[in-house]
A = this chain, B = another copy of it.
């Protein structure tokens, strides 16, 4: 386990942002390998050998090459359990995973760069239609998460109790994205409060896109 850990990512990628937060929370030292998505560097043949989808992040760790952020976070939690990213009880774990997956499945992929580029280049949609698209899926998902947190007594300082879980790690990068796209966050006071609490922690703050070496 003493090989260097390498995170293949991009400062703007919120899936990379999630993995940066998890590595920071668990105090796992890592090296960055940057792939500039808007210049298409994720399609370079050498990178496609590591990640067949041509997406970021990819994590090199323990002699393994891991892809897909949810899978990477589960692996980190199984092999480096402290601090845990999931509660101990199956029902709590299910709740946290579901919150994370609303972002991971039902918001983020629909707003991913390759989909936005398809809307732009193949379907010839103007930029205002793309912004409406982008914010529509975030608002849909955030409404569900806000409602779930508002009615669940287990929500606390963070999405599940008073410790950070995988749910917060998925939520915060999506909130940061939403702000960049001028989404009105007024309907989501709980999400705002949790994001502010999380971003006050060094593990989140250091993982911010603006704090990455490839930021531009």
Residues of A participating in the B interface, judged by any CB pair closer than 8 Å: 52-53, 55, 62, 64, 66-68, 70-72, 74-75, 78-79, 90-91, 93-95, 97-98, 101-102, 104-106, 108-110, 112, 114-115, 118, 122-123, 125, 129, 132-133, 136, 140-141, 143-145, 147-148
Contact A62 B75 (CB under 8 A): no
Contact A72 B55 (CB under 8 A): no
Chain A contact surface mostly? helix
Q: Which residues of B contact A101 (CB under 8 A)?
A: 68, 70-71, 104
Q: Which residues of B contact A75 (CB under 8 A)?
A: 90-91, 93-94
By beta carbon, the residue of chain B nearest A67 is B98
CA separation between A53 and B79, bound complex, in Å? Answer: 33
CA separation between A70 and B122, bound complex, in Å? Answer: 31
CA separation between A132 and B55, bound complex, in Å? Answer: 21
* A78 and B53 in contact, given A105-B68, A106-B109, A123-B123 (Cβ under 8 angstroms): no
